[in-house]
Amino acid sequence: MKLRTSLLLCLCSVLLIGILSSCRSDGGKETSYTDTNKIVQEGDSFTFKSRNDSEEANHKTNTKYSGFSGTDTIWTVEATKNINLTVNYESTVTHGDFKVVLISPDKKITTVLTGNQQGHKKINVNKGTYRIKIVGRKAYGKINFSINKQKHLKISKIRMDF
């Protein structure tokens, strides 16, 4: 009887530890920040404690976020010919890691900004469809981001209904 009770107690302890460990798991979202294979994927995997987007126009976003981990595609950009893409940004990160990346049709990553930065960047893009993603690891902050509209550029905002 004593052996049976001890075995049952040990089994319950192992089960409880397994359940508690899985509750703390982020599903690999935190490792997405440095994993280029996860960043270039078509799909996204992310969590936010909170997120507040201000809609100004299809080519602009103002987002305040907290507890952001993972990757989130915010735009697709289709260039109908080779052009210079100009992006404007103001990023304030109060905690964690945050970056914005541009992913080419052949899955090459161009980092647009990392952490706290303000300014603009010109990026040469060839004809094709590109994706702009935000990538975070336990990030808190805000981002104001826009793309200069051009004749040979179609910008589509990816809308997520939460």
Closest CA to 39 of 89, 93, 119, 108: 108
Q: Mind listing the pLDDT tens digit for each residue in 108-125?
A: 999 999 999 999 999 999
Exposed, middle or buried: residue 42 (CB in 10 Å: 0-12, 13-18, 19+)?
exposed
Report the predicted TM-score, pTM, of the whole model to 2 decimal places: 0.80
Are residues 39 and 135 in contact, defined by beta-carbon separation less than 8 angstroms? yes
Q: Which two tokens stand for residue 144?
A: 């104001």
Q: What is the structure's pLDDT at 3?
A: 61
Q: Mind listing the pLDDT tens digit for each residue in 3-50?
A: 666 655 655 555 545 554 444 444 556 677 989 999 999 888 899 999
- Which has the higher per-residue pLDDT, 16 or 69? 69
Q: What is the structure's pLDDT at 12?
A: 53
**Could you give the CA distance from residue 133 to residue 76 in angstroms, rounded to a whole number?**
9
Q: Mind listing the pLDDT tens digit for each residue in 130-158?
A: 999 999 999 999 999 999 988 999 998 88
Q: What is the structure's pLDDT at 160?
A: 57
What φ, ψ does residue 131 adopt, rounded to 5°? -125, 140
**Could you give the CA distance from residue 89 to residue 82 in angstroms, rounded to a whole number?**
22
- Which has the higher per-residue pLDDT, 139 or 160? 139
Q: What is the structure's pLDDT at 20?
A: 46
Considering the domain 30-157 in this protein, what is its CATH number? 2.60.120.380
Closest CA to 153 of 116, 134, 125: 125
**Where are the chain's structural domains?**
30-157
**Could you give the CA distance from residue 147 to residue 112 in angstroms, rounded to a whole number?**
12
Give the total residue count for the chain: 162
How confident is the model over 61-83, as a mean pLDDT? 94
**Could you give the CA distance from residue 38 to residue 32 in angstroms, rounded to a whole number?**
6
